[in-house]
Amino acid sequence: MKKHKHILFVPFVLCVLLTYCGDTGTNSNQCGCTEDVAAKTPYEYFVDLSKLPRCTGSEKAASDYLKSFAEQLGFEIFQDAMFNLLIKKQGSKGRESEPPIILQAHIDMVCNKDLAVNHNFETDPIIPVIEGDWVRSQDRTTLGADNGSGVSMIMAILASNCISHPPVEALLTVQEEIGLIGALYFDVSKLSGQRLINLDNITEKFLLAGSKQNDNPEIIIPMLPKALAKIANLPDWPYREDSPLRDKMVKVFKDFYKEEPVIASINNRVAGVECMAFAARMPEADMISIGPTIQNIHTPDERMSLSSYNRVYDYLVKILEEL
C-alpha cells in the first residue's frame, strides 16, 4: 500500500508543479530555475550598498565593488575613467537575441547630516533601519535611497537566475547630483539598446516621460528647493508622442496595480534625471523613469517606503518579462 500511495503521489505533485509553472503571477517565471545561494533580495543589496562610501565625487570604492560583483557573476564589464560602469547580461533562455533593455541608475548620493552627528561618510557605513513602512538612516544622515534604491534593484536583477528578461545593459553612473556629470561623460556608443528604464524617480505610480515643454503631461518636481541651484537648467528630454516602451509600461502598470499611472514630465529648470543627459546623444532612445516613494531626499530626514520599493521592483520584473 505504501508503494502504491507513493506512485499515486508523484503524478499529483507533478500536476501541481505544472500548474504553478504556468502561473505568470510570480517574480520567477522560468520553471525549474534555481537561484544561486549567493543571490540576495533587492533590499539586502541596498543594505550592502549602504556600507560603502559614495558621496558625489567619491564613488570609486562603490564602483569597484559593483565591478567585482559583476565579475563574480561572469558578465561583460566596462568601467570608464570616471568610474561609470556598464554591465552586460545575456538574455534569459530563449530571449538571447531580443533587443537589449538598458537599466540605469546613479551610484553617488548627497552626503548630508545634522551638525551634531559624528559621522564620516568616507569611512562610516550608513545603517538603514525600518520603522513601520519607512526605511531611514540609523543616524541623522541622508539614507542614500537616491539612488541606492535603483542600483540595488539592478543588482538583484543581474544576480537572479529566475527572471525572464531580454539582454540587460546595466548602466551605473557617477556624479549625478552635481549636474548629471557622469552620464554626460559616458560614451554612449558602448550601448546597444535603444530602450532605457531609469530608476531615479522618487514618486511611485508616476512614469516620467520627458522634461518640461508646453505640450507635455503633468510636471513633477521631486527635490527640495535648497538642493536645486547646483543643477538648474539641465538638458532637455523631449516627450515622445510615439513611445512603445511607455505603452508597454502603462499596460503592465494597469495589470499590476489595477489602476492608471500618472504620465509626468519633470521641470528641467529645477530638477533632473539622467534621461536628460542621454536624450540629445541618443535621439532614437525610448526612455522612461520610475522609482519608489522617497521623501525628504538630500536631507537627514530622508526616508524610503519599503512596501513601495518592493512593489516597484516587482513591477520592473513584470516589465522585463513582458517586453
Residue 14 shares a structural domain with residue 101:
no
Task: For 196-210, write each residue's pLDDT tens digit.
Answer: 999 999 999 999 999
Residue among 236, 289, 230, 299 nearest 267 (CA):
236
- 284 burial (CB, 10 Å; 0-12 / 13-18 / 19+) is exposed
Instruction: Please indicate whether residue 108 is annotated as part of the active site.
Output: yes
Q: What's the CA dihedral at 271, 277, 282, 284 to 10 degrees?
A: 0
Same domain, 6 and 79: no
On whether both 214 and 293 belong to a single domain, the answer is yes
Name the DSSP letter for residue 99.
P
Distance of CA 243 to the CA centre of its chain: 20
Verify that 121 and 221 share a domain, yes or no: yes
Does position 290 have pLDDT exceeding 60, yes or no?
yes
Looking at the structure, tell me whether residues 28 and 116 fall in a common domain.
no
pLDDT given at position 91: 98
84, three cell numbers: 561609470
User: Which of 59, 146, 169, 176 does the annotation list as catalytic?
Assistant: 176
d(CA 296, CA 304): 9
One domain, residues 73 and 145: yes
Residues 249-268: tens digit of each pLDDT: 999 999 999 999 999 888 77
Q: Has residue 23 got a pLDDT over 80?
A: no
* pLDDT value, residue 234: 77
Q: Is residue 18 located within the same domain as residue 143?
A: no
Please choose, from the candidates 197, 158, 186, the residue with its C-alpha nearest in 3D space to the C-alpha of residue 291: 197
| Residue 11 identity | P
Q: Is the pLDDT of residue 270 over 80?
A: no
- Inform me whether the pLDDT recorded for 35 exceeds 90: no
Q: Looking at the structure, do residues 116 and 261 belong to the same domain, yes or no?
A: yes
Return the number of other C-beta atoms located less than 10 Å from residue 35's C-beta.
13
Q: Looking at the structure, tell me whether residues 63 and 116 fall in a common domain.
A: yes
pLDDT band per the 50, 70, 90 thresholds, residue 232: low
Average pLDDT estimate for 28-32: 51
pLDDT band at 46 (very low <50, low <70, confident <90, very high): very high
Q: Say whether both 71 and 117 belong to one domain.
A: yes
176 is catalytic: yes
Per-residue pLDDT, averaged over 306-314, amounts to: 98
Do residue 255 and residue 175 come from a single domain?
yes
Q: Which domain holds residue 23?
A: 1-32
Cα R_g (the chain), whole angstroms: 20
Same domain membership, residue 53 and residue 8:
no
CATH code for position 295: 3.40.630.10
Domain count, the chain: 2
